[in-house]
């Protein structure tokens, strides 16, 4: 919004103001420009690759939840007989269950783009996204919200590291076809945290294409620190669907392929993760699939989801113990993300883990993930992360060799401490003093070597923290050793209990935030955006 | 629903070429690749097989025509304006002021079935039409008694239902201590200590899990309270939350008037607190047990689930759906704001005040059936709805786009279509008669000549040689269908609007061109002497290849074609596309 817009209140001494009477007026007397639109509360559109949610501010649930179903992909006015309907679905070599977009679009087809072929494909995909999203939003406006699209601002939750091009396409579609005056972008994990009543947490979004873990601290998503890579996994609903197909096919001899919609229906209705307790009662469930009925014991129906989200690897591999970087099982993924957080964030987030996205609906999944995470933490503690981080740091900061060297020395000090710890009875004071010395050196070193940019935000900052953490944990451990209590030395418990928190979801978070008249970090206005896009820009503010 | 799939003619609306995304794409590539840009500008053959074509091709009936822009307007390039709201079930017109508060739904007795989405009827279960009453679905026989709800009176069902659902959500075991108390407690700023709901299985009597709706209300109240507290210190306002959400307005404010004057206020500023009792994840064992009992058929399907606001997992948790209100909408052209459609304001009326249907400006086509590598001749009839004579130019690529192109040839791509004068003119008019006769005498089938023509229609021959589809390759259904893109260009002279008084006899030349796609038919297997057809194509009479013209009528489709034409020529309405005539 335009900060230059004059306001009635600016410049008035605060003492002249009436003490807060109306809470609706108080929030936006400070955000003057927004008062233009504030009498009209924004609409919240959560656009996912499989589902569109739309509704009004201050309402607990979206007015409409639309799946991007085959009917939306269909040509207007096409009349289908049942046989040809199937033919139409076959058209793409896939049957039903399509997602609007594929976030991996930029990666497919190799590195080099011969003859702009990939560019062409991406453009076609963007065109399709525009077509479909336009259709979906039009249904939402005309059928469910029943309002004139021109007046309302829109609040759009955006997942972390959402492809810019896709975002531009979405915004352009909304602006051109629906003439919304402005769109506010808010980070979807933050909204999920707001919808649980908290300010910090660890949000795990099990989506259709990927699972994303985002730590949120004081209503800010923690970014960088390798979370973009290590906080993501391909274990998602699409993988789950494949697992279900693999699971169902052996029951159906002479069937080679299954209808995606049918499989998704089974997956939604019966998929679960069994809890550890023994089930005495295990009935056979009749499942209609591919024109016949099969009977499967209920407990077996947990297999696909278990394989998808907890198996060491989902791809064929000779070394399943070393999975691909993008193929991390969920508990491990949470651990990976947590260990990359600063210690304060980690301590807060670990006891506020919340699940959103389609995968969160699988009953039993959340409990199992948390249980396994607890196991990992118990087994490995957080020290490993500390140690590893320093080692990683020294590798990563090869350029800033000074830093690396100093960091190396931190490691050596730590080793020394450990050695000493192994032989209890010796003085520890000395060791800590020494560490402090080294720490200061490191600090200076890292300040001096600005050119260690790569590792920059992720690696430089935590050095001190890491070392301190080490001191803390080492001393904690040695204290424990003194007391002779070994179990307490597993510092996982010290950092905070692994615990899940229920959230109302991203959409409800958006509804709450919009109800508080909070204006987002990024507010995009129609005319400005469109003119920027016309000039070849992304239309998004820098740093988005 | 046993309408034949073919023939169909679809008109391409060019609107997908000029929206924002296109601009962005063009400008993006303009810098990187000027050739690509140019190529796009020139526009190559419309590809009916492109996945995007499903969004730009429309049947005639779905198009509007803007007279000012002289352009086709499809459903996506119009702007809707709501004229009135009404319930489709009871036709009650809802005033716009109450629409939103009622949740865009009918608040009378209109409900639809949560299972099959048909309308529910209030039905008496007692003797002599007395209560209790239920809502019964006449289609799938689901009733509210399936979820244990009956009504005392047959009126104001919505209010009764709300009360019953509210009562049902309160668990009977905890009726002494309603869960509201535990909700409201943390709302008090005085309450100390963190009380965390523990829904874990080890706790002996789990407190009832508040519904998401209750939880939302609790959070909303809490946040608003925080807001009030924060703003009561005369400083923070929503600022503390806003600041946390990434806005730095607080700092600026301090700079603008806070400095020097009120330095203490900075200290007083209160942080926005976390809610003290949040919901810890509960065990889902119970849910799994229920799922086990319900099996596949007791669970909701995806479409049944997402239509309900509380997203129930099991059929026992569904609720009847209050009928969604509908609207009557006026439609404006997006570029010139000209009104294209304006319905009558009254709910009961289906009349339109203004309606500019594109059908009045387009044509209709007929077809025959297909065999690979044989020449098929089709009659393409262009009908003219205008009161002026039009000149038509048809253009088509020699090979249709796609993996297996068919060869297309239009024998007479340029021709004239007579004006749509009164039907009687053809029969009685002194001028029209000989002309019609001359036209009927043609039928030579030679290149460069039309096949036949009438008062306001002309037929030309379109030759298609479908490709031979390989047997060893797995083909997609799409490959079997012959889709012919045709660029239709019509030029005509019409009277200039006489309102200005100047151009009395001046004629204005108007030109209009668009891509249309003709889906001619499905290629059958090449069996000697026979053509195999998909059953659904309904053309399964097996027409032998007949290169002589006219092809001998040997099947039902041919007759229909004749009927079609008679119908069309005798009717003033020219919207009889192949589809409408079915």
pLDDT tens digits along B490-511: 888 776 655 555 555 667 787 8
A8 part of contact set with chain B, CB < 8 Å: no
Final residue of a structural domain among A380, A397, A422: A380
Q: Which residue range forms the structural domain that includes residue B422?
A: 361-581
Q: For residue B572, is pLDDT > 60?
A: no
Flag whether A396 is in a domain: yes
Q: Terminal CA-to-CA distance of chain A, rounded, Å?
A: 16
Residue with tokens 């519904």: B211
Q: For residue A291, is pLDDT > 60?
A: yes
Question: Phi and psi for B410 in degrees, rounded to 5?
Answer: -100, 120
Inter-chain touch B245–A142, beta carbons under 8 Å: no
A23 part of contact set with chain B, CB < 8 Å: yes
CB-based contacts of A171, cutoff 8 Å, min separation 6: A156, A183, A524, A529, A539, A540
Averaging pLDDT over each range in A363-372, A425-434, B181-190, B358-367, which range is the top one?
A363-372
Q: For residue A284, is pLDDT > 80?
A: yes
A188 part of contact set with chain B, CB < 8 Å: no
Bigger pLDDT: A486 vs B348: B348
Q: In the prediction, which pLDDT does A111 show?
A: 55
Structurally, chain B folds into a number of domains equal to 3
Mean model confidence pLDDT for chain B: 66
Final residue of a structural domain among B283, B300, B318: B283
Q: Residue B414: give its domain's CATH number.
A: 2.60.40.2310
What pTM was estimated for this model as a whole? 0.71
- Given A29, A131, A219, which is nearest B245 (Cβ)? A219
Instruction: Tell me the C-alpha distance between A471 and A439, whole Å.
Output: 11
**Same structural domain for residues A186 and A266?**
no
A544 part of contact set with chain B, CB < 8 Å: no
Q: In the prediction, which pLDDT does B387 show?
A: 77
**Same structural domain for residues A313 and A171?**
no
**Same structural domain for residues A340 and A393?**
no
Do B325 and A146 contact (CB within 8 A), yes or no? yes
**Same structural domain for residues A351 and A403?**
no
Closest approach of chain B CAs to the CA of A61, in angstroms? 6
Q: Which residues face B461 on adjacent strands? A: B379
CA nearest neighbour of B522 among B548, B504, B546, B540: B540
Residues of A in contact with B79 (CB under 8 A): 150, 179
Q: What percent of chain A has pLDDT over 70?
A: 63
Q: For residue A318, is pLDDT > 80?
A: no
Do B9 and B522 contact (CB within 8 A), yes or no? no
**Same structural domain for residues B479 and B568?**
yes
Flag whether A221 is in a domain: no
**Same structural domain for residues B493 and B380?**
yes
pLDDT tens, residue by residue, B513-569: 788 888 777 776 554 433 333 333 323 222 222 222 222 222 223 223 333 333 333
**Same structural domain for residues A416 and A372?**
no
Q: In the prediction, which pLDDT does A204 show?
A: 94
**Same structural domain for residues A44 and A190?**
yes
Structurally, chain A folds into a number of domains equal to 3
Inter-chain touch B212–A176, beta carbons under 8 Å: no
Final residue of a structural domain among B248, B283, B318: B283
How far does CA A436 lie from the centroid of its chain?
A: 37
Best to test chain B binding among A117, A127, A137, A354 (most B CBs inside 10 Å): A127
**Same structural domain for residues B114 and B152?**
yes
Bigger pLDDT: A166 vs B453: A166
Three-state helix/strand/coil letters over A58-121: CCCCCCEEEECCHHHHCCCCCCCCHHHHHHHHHCCCCCCCCCCCCCCCCCCCCCCCHHHHHHHH
Residue A529 burial class via C-beta count within 10 angstroms: exposed 0-12, middle 13-18, buried 19 and up: buried
Q: For residue B362, is pLDDT > 50?
A: no
A263 part of contact set with chain B, CB < 8 Å: no
- Given A56, A60, A512, which is nearest B212 (Cβ)? A60
CA nearest neighbour of B66 among B80, B78, B57: B78
- Given A69, A186, A517, which is nearest B238 (Cβ)? A517
ipTM: 0.70
Alpha carbon distances (Å) from B559 to A374, A445, B554, B575: 75, 92, 9, 20
Mean local confidence (pLDDT), B221-228: 80
Inter-chain touch A81–B3, beta carbons under 8 Å: yes
Q: What is the band of A76 on the pLDDT scale with cuts at 50, 70, 90?
A: low
Q: Which residue range forms the structural domain that includes residue A158?
A: 40-195+504-534
Q: In the prediction, which pLDDT does B358 show?
A: 53
Do A254 and A319 contact (CB within 8 A), yes or no? no
Flag whether A12 is in a domain: no
Q: Between helices A401-422 and A462-483, what is the axis angle to 10°? A: 0
pLDDT tens, residue by residue, A330-376: 999 999 899 888 888 988 899 889 999 888 889 889 989 998 999 98
Query: What DSSP string describes A40-56?
Result: SPPEEEEE-SSEEEEEE
Q: Residue A265: give its domain's CATH number.
A: 3.30.420.40
Q: For residue A196, is pLDDT > 60?
A: yes
Q: In the prediction, which pLDDT does B278 show?
A: 72
Residue with tokens 């009685």: B428
**Helix H or strand E encompassing B489:** strand B481-495
**Same structural domain for residues B126 and B201?**
no
**Same structural domain for residues B231 and B105?**
no
Flag whether A35 is in a domain: no
Residues found in chain A: 544
Q: Give the angle subtended at the CA of B571 by the CAs of B569 and B577, to the nearest 5°.
A: 75
Q: What is the band of A405 on the pLDDT scale with cuts at 50, 70, 90?
A: very low
Do A130 and B21 contact (CB within 8 A), yes or no? yes
A540 part of contact set with chain B, CB < 8 Å: no
**Same structural domain for residues A141 and A154?**
yes
A106 part of contact set with chain B, CB < 8 Å: no
Flag whether A224 is in a domain: no
**Quick check: helix, strand or coil at residue A441?**
helix
**Same structural domain for residues A86 and A168?**
yes
**Same structural domain for residues B96 and B221?**
no
Q: In the prediction, which pLDDT does B501 show?
A: 52
pLDDT tens, residue by residue, B153-164: 888 888 888 888
Inter-chain touch B216–A168, beta carbons under 8 Å: no
Bigger pLDDT: A485 vs A299: A299
Residue with tokens 């799409």: B478
Q: Where are the alpha helices (DSSP H) in A382-495?
A: 383-396, 401-422, 429-448, 462-483, 492-495
123-142 in chain A: CB under 8 A from chain B: 123-124, 126-128, 130-132, 134-135, 138, 141-142
Q: In the prediction, which pLDDT does B44 show?
A: 60
Q: In the prediction, which pLDDT does B245 show?
A: 55
How far does CA A152 lie from the centroid of its chain?
A: 28
Q: In the prediction, which pLDDT does A330 show?
A: 92
pLDDT tens, residue by residue, A513-522: 888 877 666 8
Inter-chain touch A534–B324, beta carbons under 8 Å: no
Q: For residue B85, is pLDDT > 50?
A: yes
Mean local confidence (pLDDT), B126-138: 83
HSE-CB of A205 using CA atoms within 13 angstroms: 26
Nearest CA in chain B to A518: B242
Flag whether A1 is in a domain: no
**Same structural domain for residues A371 and A389?**
no
Instruction: Tell me the C-alpha distance between A382 and A388, whole Å.
Output: 10
**Same structural domain for residues B437 and B464?**
yes
Three-state helix/strand/coil letters over B226-254: HHHHHHHCCCCCCHHHHHHCCCCHHHHHH
Q: For residue A45, is pLDDT > 90?
A: yes
Q: For residue B381, is pLDDT > 70?
A: yes
């Amino acid at each position: 919004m335009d900060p230059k817009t004059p306001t009635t209140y600016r410049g008035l001494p605060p003492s002249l103001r009436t003490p807060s009477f109306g809470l609706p007026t108080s929030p936006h007397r400070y955000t003057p420009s927004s008062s233009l639109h504030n009498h009209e509360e924004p609409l919240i559109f959560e656009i996912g690759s499989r589902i569109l949610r739309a509704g009004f501010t201050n309402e607990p649930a979206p007015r409409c939840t639309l799946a991007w179903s085959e009917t939306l992909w269909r040509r207007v006015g096409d009349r289908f007989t049942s046989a040809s309907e199937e033919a139409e679905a076959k058209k793409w070599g896939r049957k039903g269950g399509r997602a609007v977009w594929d976030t991996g679009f930029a990666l497919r087809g190799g590195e080099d783009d011969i003859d702009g072929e990939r560019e062409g494909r991406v453009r076609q995909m963007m065109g399709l996204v525009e077509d479909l999203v336009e259709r979906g939003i039009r249904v939402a406006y005309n059928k469910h919200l029943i309002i004139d699209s021109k007046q309302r601002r829109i609040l759009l939750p955006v997942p972390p590291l959402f492809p810019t091009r896709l975002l531009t396409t979405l915004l352009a579609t909304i602006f051109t076809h629906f003439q919304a005056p402005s769109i506010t972008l808010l980070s979807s994990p933050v909204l999920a945290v707001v919808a649980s009543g908290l300010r910090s947490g660890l949000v795990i979004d099990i989506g259709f294409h990927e699972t994303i873990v985002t730590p949120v601290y004081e209503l800010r998503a923690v970014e960088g620190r390798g979370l973009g890579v290590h906080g993501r996994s391909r274990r998602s609903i699409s993988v789950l669907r494949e697992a279900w197909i693999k699971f169902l096919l052996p029951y159906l001899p002479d069937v080679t392929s299954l209808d995606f919609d049918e499989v998704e229906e089974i997956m939604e209705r019966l998929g679960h993760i069994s809890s550890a307790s023994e089930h005495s009662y295990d009935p056979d469930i009749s499942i209609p699939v591919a024109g016949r009925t099969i009977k499967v014991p209920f407990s077996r129906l947990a297999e696909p989801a278990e394989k998808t989200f907890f198996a060491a690897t989902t791809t064929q591999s000779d070394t399943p113990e070393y999975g691909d970087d993008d193929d991390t099982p969920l508990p491990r993924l949470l651990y990976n993300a947590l260990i990359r957080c600063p210690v304060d964030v980690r301590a807060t987030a670990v006891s506020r883990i919340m699940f959103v996205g389609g995968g969160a609906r699988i009953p039993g999944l959340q409990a199992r993930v948390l249980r396994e995470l607890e196991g990992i933490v118990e087994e490995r503690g957080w020290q490993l992360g500390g140690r590893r981080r320093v080692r990683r740091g020294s590798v990563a900061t090869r350029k800033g060799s000074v830093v690396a060297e100093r960091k190396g020395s931190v490691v050596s000090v730590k080793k020394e401490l450990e050695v000493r710890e192994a032989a209890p009875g010796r003085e520890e004071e000395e060791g800590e003093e020494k560490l402090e010395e080294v720490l200061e050196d490191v600090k200076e070193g890292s300040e001096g070597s600005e050119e260690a940019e790569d590792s920059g935000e992720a690696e430089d900052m935590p050095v001190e923290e890491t070392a301190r953490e080490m001191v803390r944990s080492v001393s904690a451990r040695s204290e424990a050793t003194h007391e002779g209590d070994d179990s307490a030395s597993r510092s996982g418990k010290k950092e905070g209990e692994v615990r899940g928190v229920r959230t109302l979801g991203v959409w409800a978070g958006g509804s709450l935030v919009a109800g508080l008249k909070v204006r987002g970090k990024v507010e995009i206005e129609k005319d400005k955006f469109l003119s920027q896009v016309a000039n070849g820009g992304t239309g998004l503010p820098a740093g988005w | 629903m046993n309408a034949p799939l073919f023939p169909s003619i679809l008109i391409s609306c060019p609107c997908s070429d000029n929206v924002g995304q296109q601009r962005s794409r063009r400008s993006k590539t303009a810098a990187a690749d000027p050739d690509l840009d140019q190529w796009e500008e020139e526009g190559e053959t419309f590809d009916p097989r492109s996945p995007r074509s499903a969004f730009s091709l429309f049947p005639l009936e779905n198009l509007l025509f803007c007279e000012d822009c002289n352009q086709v307007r499809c459903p996506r390039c119009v702007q809707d304006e709501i004229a009135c709201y009404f319930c489709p079930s009871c036709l009650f017109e809802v005033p716009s002021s109450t629409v939103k508060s009622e949740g865009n739904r009918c608040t009378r007795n209109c409900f639809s079935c949560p299972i099959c989405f048909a309308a529910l009827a209030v039905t008496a279960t007692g003797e002599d039409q007395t209560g209790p009453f239920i809502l019964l679905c006449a289609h799938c026989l689901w009733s509210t008694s399936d979820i244990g709800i009956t009504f005392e009176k047959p009126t104001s069902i919505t209010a009764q239902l709300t009360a019953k659902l509210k009562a049902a959500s309160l668990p009977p075991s905890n009726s002494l201590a309603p869960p509201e108390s535990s909700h409201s407690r943390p709302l008090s700023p005085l309450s100390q200590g963190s009380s965390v709901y523990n829904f874990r299985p080890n706790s002996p009597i789990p407190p009832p899990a508040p519904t998401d709706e209750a939880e939302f209300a609790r959070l909303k109240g809490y946040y608003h309270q925080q807001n009030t507290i924060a703003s009561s210190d005369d400083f923070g306002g929503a600022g503390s939350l806003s600041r946390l959400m990434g806005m730095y307005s607080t700092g600026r404010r301090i700079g603008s008037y806070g400095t020097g004057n009120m330095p203490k206020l900075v200290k007083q500023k209160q942080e926005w607190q976390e809610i003290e009792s949040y919901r810890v994840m509960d065990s889902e064992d119970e849910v799994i047990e229920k799922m086990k009992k319900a099996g596949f058929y007791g669970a909701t399907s995806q479409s049944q689930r997402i239509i309900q606001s509380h997203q129930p997992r099991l059929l026992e948790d569904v609720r009847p759906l209050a009928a969604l209100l509908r609207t009557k909408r006026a439609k404006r052209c997006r570029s010139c704001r000209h009104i294209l459609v304006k319905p009558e304001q009254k709910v009961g009326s289906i009349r339109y005040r203004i309606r500019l249907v594109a059908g009045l400006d387009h044509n209709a086509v007929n077809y025959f059936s297909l065999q690979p590598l044989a020449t098929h001749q089709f009659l393409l009839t262009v009908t003219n709805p205008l009161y002026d004579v039009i000149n038509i130019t048809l253009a088509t690529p020699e090979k249709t786009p796609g993996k297996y192109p068919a060869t297309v040839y239009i024998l007479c791509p340029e021709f004239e279509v007579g004006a749509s004068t009164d039907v009687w003119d053809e029969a009685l008019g002194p001028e029209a008669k000989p002309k019609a006769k001359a036209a009927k005498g043609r039928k030579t089938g030679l290149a460069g000549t039309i096949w036949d023509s009438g008062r306001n229609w002309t037929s030309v021959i379109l030759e298609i040689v479908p490709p031979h589809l390989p047997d060893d390759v797995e083909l997609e259904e799409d490959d079997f269908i012959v889709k012919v893109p045709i660029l239709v260009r019509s030029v005509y002279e019409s009277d200039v609007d006489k309102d200005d008084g100047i151009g009395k006899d001046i004629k204005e030349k108007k030109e209009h061109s668009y891509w249309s796609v003709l889906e001619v038919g499905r290629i059958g297997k090449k069996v000697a002497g026979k053509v195999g057809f998909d059953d659904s194509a309904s053309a399964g009479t097996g027409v032998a290849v007949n290169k002589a013209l006219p092809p001998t009528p040997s099947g039902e489709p041919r007759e229909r074609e004749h009927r079609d034409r008679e119908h069309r020529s005798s009717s003033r309405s020219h919207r009889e596309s192949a589809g409408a005539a079915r």
